[in-house]
Structure 1
């Protein structure tokens, strides 16, 4: 087997793992967001308060597209907007009430999955998994110029 074959097999296995977890656990979240809406919400959660320009830049989406996605998320109370007190021309986006509830449930699901499956790995295996993920992330982001 070539290195590429091992990589493809690993991807296939992670796809199967994610599919299983999505069906058996994360479907319990009852989220009704599109993948792009979820990406925007997740990024806002990571960097809040977020500016539309920052979301656009990090997700490589147009400002118009991000604005439409944020509008929809705001209508559903996943996010809220406010004026930046330091620059009144800027709008800041933060996680709203429904978004906070979602991430609370999401974290509970993560904890459940970790306890049920990942906790069965040894500490050494867990560290290797983390270190591998870090190394791959660094390689990809340095190569693409996006961190």
Structure 2
């Protein structure tokens, strides 16, 4: 069930699913109640938030960094950061991105290419199913009546 819960969270909480994303963009690590300055990953999270703005927290203002995550969830996070870095590069703010950052991101993108492709397929499938549901739902003004 833990695996199922983790897989469900990728469907509902993934940064890649922004139209239905219940997670909020974090502008400061101090917004995350469960991340403390003495945590081993604090500096990394702070850098990702301040330099790239690609960290999202849960609606209860937590990051949940102590729980295991799936490779899909990791791929979604890497993808969100890659999107943000690409945005920074194209908007001429590339002074925020170093060559080492780009090399690391390219390595991660290559390593997680299969997971990113799978995630992209899952998102496409979810969007198609959502579109079908929206197209076939009842009108809000429809009244149903029947005989018992």
TM range (shorter): 0.3 to 0.5
TM-score norm. by structure 2 comes to 0.32
TM-score, normalised via structure 1 length: 0.32
- Give the number of the structure whose residues are more often strand, by fraction: 1
Greater fraction helix: 1
